[in-house]
Amino acid sequence: MRPMIIAIDGYSSCGKSTLARQLAEILNYRYIDSGAMYRAITYALLRKQVDLDDIEAIQQALQDICLDVKYDPIQQRSVVWLNGQPVEEEIRSWEVSEAVSRVAAIPEIRAFAVTQQQAMGRQRGLVMDGRDIGTVVFPDAEVKIFMTADLHTRALRRWKELREKHPEISVEEVERNLRERDLIDTQRTVGPLKKADDAFVIDNTYLDEAQQLQVALDHVKAVAQNLPA
Ligand code: CDP
């Protein structure tokens, strides 16, 4: 099978990264979580207390942000590094989740991230998940998957992940955060979250991880069979 690009887009917390990671492992592809890059930028701006309404300050701060995605053999996954430090833990904080969609809607920030994501795709054999991967970053991706699930189901899943670190956060609050992020992500002018016309839709409200993987793998195989040699 010739190496492809697999683009997975969809709403907040609907299992994109779980599926992306599993596909990458099975196909022996690299996996890049583009959301982690926007989270790392957000974390850097919050840490520097940059005013998110001050575009000049943001542009200035971007000059000091160096992102890298490296494979961590202990966690057996790729993690984002910010200025020479792994920041996987920090970027999953509630504070970052509350600010990230606002940051990701800024055109200068998107241009900064998209350029780096496209460079990562020069070598095919890649799964990338996000919001604009099949529409903007890799419109020529061989496989495009658009994932969705019922909002309450997504909130419950994310709340279970967060429970240990943030016992003070309720399911309702998680649901509010997801609703807000989806709204900002779908309504921004640059790279809005939307299904690419040629994307294959997976609604995983009633699918478990194994079923979702099977549906996606069947689709990937069908696409691969129809590609010119
Ligand atoms: O929480 P979840 O895993 O669903 O989100 P994420 O993939 O970590 O992405 C965090 C945020 O980054 C999203 O809510 C979007 O605002 C933004 N994002 C984006 O704008 N474009 C992408 N390609 C990926 C993420």
pLDDT value at position 116? 96
pLDDT value at position 228? 85
Task: Identify the band that residue 17 occupies on the pLDDT scale cut at 50, 70 and 90.
Answer: very high
> By CB neighbour count within 10 A (0-12 exposed, 13-18 middle, 19+ buried), where does 82 fall?
buried
Instruction: Kindly list the structural domains of the chain, giving each domain's residue range(s) and its CATH number in brackets, ordered by start.
Output: 5-221 (3.40.50.300)
Among 120, 76, 72, 174, residue whose Cα is nearest residue 129: 120
Nearest CA owner, ligand 1 atom 25: 35
Ligand 1 centre to CA of 11 (Å) is 8
Specify the 3-state DSSP secondary structure of 224.
helix
Q: Is residue 19 scored above 80 in pLDDT? A: yes
The three-state (H, E, C) secondary structure of 155-205, written as one string? HHHHHHHHCCCCCCCCHHHHHHHHHHHHHHHHHCCCCCCCCCCCCEEEECC
pLDDT value at position 51? 95
Averaged pLDDT for residues 167-176: 97
Tell me, using a 6 A CB cutoff, whether residue 138 lines ligand 1. Answer: no
Distance CA 28, CA 121 (A): 15
Averaged pLDDT for residues 32-54: 97
Tell me which amino acid residue 45 is.
L
Among 34, 38, 92, 100, residue whose Cα is nearest residue 65: 38
pLDDT value at position 143? 98
In testing the pocket of ligand 1, which one of 31, 100, 174 has its CB within 8 Å of the most ligand atoms? 100
DSSP notation for 15-57: SHHHHHHHHHHHHT-EEEEHHHHHHHHHHHHHHTT--TT-HHH
Nearest CA owner, ligand 1 atom 9: 35
Q: What are the tens digits of pLDDT across the range 195-218?
A: 999 999 999 999 999 999 999 999
Distance CA 137, CA 118 (A): 6
> What is the atom index within ligand 1 of the atom nearest the CA of 101?
16
Averaged pLDDT for residues 21-25: 95
Q: What are the tens digits of pLDDT across the range 77-133?
A: 889 999 999 999 999 999 999 999 999 999 999 999 999 999 999 999 999 999 999
Contacts of 16 (CB under 8 A, 6+ apart): 8, 9, 10, 129, 130, 147
Task: For residue 222, count other CB atoms closer than 10 A to its CB.
Answer: 11
pLDDT value at position 186? 98
What's the angle, vertex CA 122, arms to CA 213 and CA 193, rounded to 5? 55
pLDDT value at position 73? 79
Secondary structure percentages of the chain, helix, strand, coil, to 5: 50, 15, 35
Q: What are the tens digits of pLDDT across the range 133-171?
A: 999 999 999 999 999 999 999 999 999 999 998 999 999
pLDDT value at position 229? 75
Q: Is residue 75 scored above 90 in pLDDT? A: no
